[in-house]
Structure 1
Amino acid sequence: MKRRTFVTGTATVATLGLAGCLGGNEEQPRTDDEHVDALQAEIADRDVEVIDIQLAEDVVEVEHGYDGEPNDAIANVAMAFVERIADEWDVERLEGYLQDEEGNDWAWHAKAEWARAYADGEIGPEEYGERLRGTLSQVLDAEE
């Protein structure tokens, strides 16, 4: 599968699902564990399977599946990350991993500064999606 084909449409999907979701939260700040739980729930609410989620230092790692288009799953995970950043989660980035139908492993990431800029309206869905596409790479086994 070609990289360009794989990521087409991420920006389009990135516009979905944010209406009304980015409002500030006046409650006490959440703990990292609460943010991880909320991220997992928000990803699941977007019909994306979370295989594994870990927080290491200031990086949250999400291994996820997809149903339909892999790029839609990436966009949905990235938008769930925007919601967490908008809720004042103090992490640096999200590292995403998935495997496509042919068994290829893919890695991508979203920086918290991009998610914050999106949540604040400083960048639009097209730019956020373009930044995500720019990070997507196929993970090759060291033995190959």
Structure 2
Amino acid sequence: MEGLLEKKPENRPSSAAEDIVELRRIHEEIDRATVEAYGWFDLLDDSGQTSHADPTHETFPLDHGFHETDQGARYTIGLLARTEIIDRLRQLNHQAYADEVHLGLHKKPAKHPDMPKPSADAIRKRKEQLAARGGSDFGEGAEGALF
């Protein structure tokens, strides 16, 4: 399989065919638009002057180019940027789950030590839910949490 992937022209660094160069440019544009949609402008600032709002995150340039992957050399973002983006997506996923638990969409897991607290938006929505049903929390907690 690896040999087949390497034979594709878009996977060869030496390929300068016009359509391959355009395909790479489009991939870069999609990557930048996606990062921008998440509001991670620090990853788009090659000068390093834009800091991320969350101090637990690190800032790395996207570093488009040929990088080694499990499938061999590929035109993609650099390993540090890939790792940071995956970490940020994982954090967003954990926060979304914590918010959904708070809103009663999931049962609270028996053990989940790393689960973040519900966001301010989830707390506001939960209060609105309670107000809509007459403020009754059915004895599920003084702060409005279901579990």
TM-score (norm 2): 0.21
More strand by share: 1
- Point out the structure with the larger helix share: 2
The structure with the largest alpha-carbon Rg is 2
Superposition TM-score, scaled by structure 1 size: 0.22
Task: Say which structure, 1 or 2, has more relative contact order (CA 8 Å, 6+ apart).
Answer: 1
